[in-house]
Amino acid sequence: MWYLVTGDLKHFRTGDLMDNFVINGVKGASGDISISGSKNAALPILISSLLTSEKVEFENVPKLRDIQSTLELLNYLGKKCVFAKNKFTISENHSLNYHAPYDLVRKMRASILVAGPLLARFKQARFSLPGGCTIGVRPVDIHLESFKKFGASISYSGGDVIISAKRLKAAHIKLKFPSVGATENLMMCAVLIKGKTVIENCAKEPEIKDLADCLRLMGARVKGDGTSTIEINGVKKLTGVKYSVMPDRIETGTFMILAAAVKGEINLLNTSSKNLAIVSKYLRRSGVKVKDCANSVKIISTGKRPNPVSFKTAPYPGFPTDLQSVWMAYMCRAEGKSTIHENIFENRFMHVGELLRMGAKITVTEETAVITGVDMLKGAPIMSSDIRAGAALIVAATAASGKSTLRRIYHIDRGYDGIEEKMRAVGFKIIRRKG
C-alpha cells in the first residue's frame, strides 16, 4: 500500500500502482454507503494554506492519491502537513519555496493552483507546465492571461512557467471560459491584492463556493461565489482556519448511478443531491426513484433496463463532465438509443473502447457518442484510463454477467476513497488484488 512518507502522514494510505479489481456482476445490492469529502473541493482548500503562515486544520479530507500528491507538494514547498485522527494540520515553520517541480506537477495538474497563493503572498511562483492527460490537452492559458491582468509578468524556462510581479493590482477580469481551476487560482490570488477584483464568467461549481467559505473564515472578503461574477476586496493578511470539506458531489453522483444500474435500495449518507439536481432528474427519467433528504439521498431501482436519456455535458449547473462516462455505462443496457455530447473536454471517450469489449453498442463521431442499449453486458478483462473512465467500468462490470478484471485502478484511487469497501458493504462483488 502507498504511504505518504513525509511528516506524520503514515496513516494516510491509498492503493498500490499495480493493483487491480476483480468484479463479478450482481443482480442487486442494498444498504448504506457513507460518502467522503470532495476531492475537487479539498485540493484548492488544502492549497489555500499557502495564503497564511498560521496553522490550519482541515477535516473530511478524502484519502486519495491526489490528496497525497497535494500534501507532498505542500511539504516540498515548506509547509508541514500532519494527518492524525482523520484531520490534517498544516503549519509553516520556515520560509517557503516557490517552485512546484515537474515530478510533482506531472502527477496532478491541479498542482498549478499553488500559483495564485504564492504570487499573492511572495510576488513570485514557478511551476512546471502541466502536461496534457488522457482527457485532453488541458492548457493553462486562461490562468496565465489572467495573472497578467494582475500586473504579473510570465516567462518560461525548461518547461517551467515563472510568474513574478513587483506590485500586484486589483483587476476586472472576464474569463473566455468558466474554467474551474482558473477561477480558484484567481480567487486565491485576489484575496491578498489591495482593491476590488471582479472575475466575470467565472465557474459556478459548488466546489468554488466551498473554497470561498473557507477563505472567508480566513478573513478574506469574497462574494458572488456560485454566480457567474465573483467580487473580491483584498486584505493585508489571512489567518489560520479550521474547516470541514463539503461532501464529494461526483462520488455521490457516481454511486447514485451505480445504484440505479442494479435492483435494490442504496442510501448515500453524509451527502445530498442538492448539487446534483440534473442527475436526479435524469435518473428519475431513466426509471428509478430518487429520495432526497437533508443529509442523504436514496436510490430505489427495480434493476430493469433503464429508459434511454440523452444529454450534453456543460459547466455547472449543467450535466457534469465528470459523470459523463459513468452515465454512459448505465445507458449501455438502456431500452433504446441515447446520445451523449461531451462539451467540456476534447477527448473524454476513452472508456468507450473498454465498454465495447464488454459487448456494448456505441458509435463515436467527434464529441458525440450514440449508445444503443443491449440486454446485458458480459464481463471481460478491462483497463481504466482516467479517474472517471475507471468508475464507468466499475458500473459496467457490476451490472454485467460474469467476471471482469479491471486494471490500472491507481486512476480510481486518485478520485474514489475506499470504493471497493463501500461497494462490498452493500453487496457488490468487488475485491482488490495485488498486481
Rounded CA-CA distance 137/63 in Å is: 27
Closer residue to ligand EPZ, CB minimum distance, 298 or 422: 422
Q: Which of 138, 209, 357, 378 binds ligand EPZ (CB under 6 A)?
A: 138
Positions in 100-129 near ligand EPZ (CB under 6 A):
110
Q: Is 139 in the site for ligand EPZ (CB under 6 A)?
A: yes
Q: Which residues of 178-192 are buried (b: 16+ CB within 10 A; e: fewer)?
A: bbbbbbbbbbbbbbb
133 included as an active-site residue: yes
**Minimum Å distance from CB 185 to ligand EPZ?**
9
Order across the sheet with 56-59: list the strands.
79-84, 87-92, 56-59, 241-244
3-state secondary structure of 69: helix
For the record, the C-alpha cell of 202 comes out as 467565472
Letters for 368-407 (x = contact with ligand EPZ by CB under 6 A, - = none) are -------------------xx-------------------
| Residue among 185, 177, 199 at smallest CA distance from 343 | 177
Q: How far is CA 356 from CA 20, 75, 258, 299, in A?
A: 20, 43, 19, 27
**Minimum Å distance from CB 384 to ligand EPZ?**
12
Q: Which of 67, 125, 161, 180 binds ligand EPZ (CB under 6 A)?
A: 180
**Minimum Å distance from CB 131 to ligand EPZ?**
12
Q: Using CB atoms, what's the residue nearest to ligand EPZ?
A: 181
Query: Are 420 and 384 a contacting pair, CB within 8 Å?
Result: no
Closer residue to ligand EPZ, CB minimum distance, 253 or 379: 253
Q: Which of 19, 322, 413, 417 binds ligand EPZ (CB under 6 A)?
A: 322
**Minimum Å distance from CB 112 to ligand EPZ?**
9
Candidates 38-46, 87-95, 211-219, 296-304; binding stretch for ligand EPZ (CB under 6 A): 38-46
Closer residue to ligand EPZ, CB minimum distance, 15 or 306: 15
Angle among Cα 89, 270, 334 to the nearest 5 degrees reads 125
- Mark out the alpha helices in 317-384 (DSSP H runs): 324-331, 351-357
Q: Is 179 in the site for ligand EPZ (CB under 6 A)?
A: yes
Q: How far is CA 328 from CA 202, 246, 261, 288, in A?
A: 28, 26, 11, 16
Q: Which of 321, 324, 325, 338 binds ligand EPZ (CB under 6 A)?
A: 321
Q: Is 142 in the site for ligand EPZ (CB under 6 A)?
A: yes
Closer residue to ligand EPZ, CB minimum distance, 70 or 286: 70
Residues ≥6 apart with Cβ < 8 Å to 85: none
H or E stretch at 403 = strand 403-407
Q: Is 351 in the site for ligand EPZ (CB under 6 A)?
A: no
Candidates 27-35, 37-45, 56-64, 166-174; binding stretch for ligand EPZ (CB under 6 A): 37-45
| Residue among 249, 254, 251, 221 at smallest CA distance from 236 | 221
Rounded CA-CA distance 230/228 in Å is: 7
Say which residue the cell 500559483 belongs to: 115
**Minimum Å distance from CB 141 to ligand EPZ?**
5
Q: Which residues bind ligand EPZ (CB under 6 A)?
A: 39-40, 43, 110, 136, 138-143, 177, 179-182, 321-322, 344-345, 387-388, 415
As annotated, the active-site residues are: 133
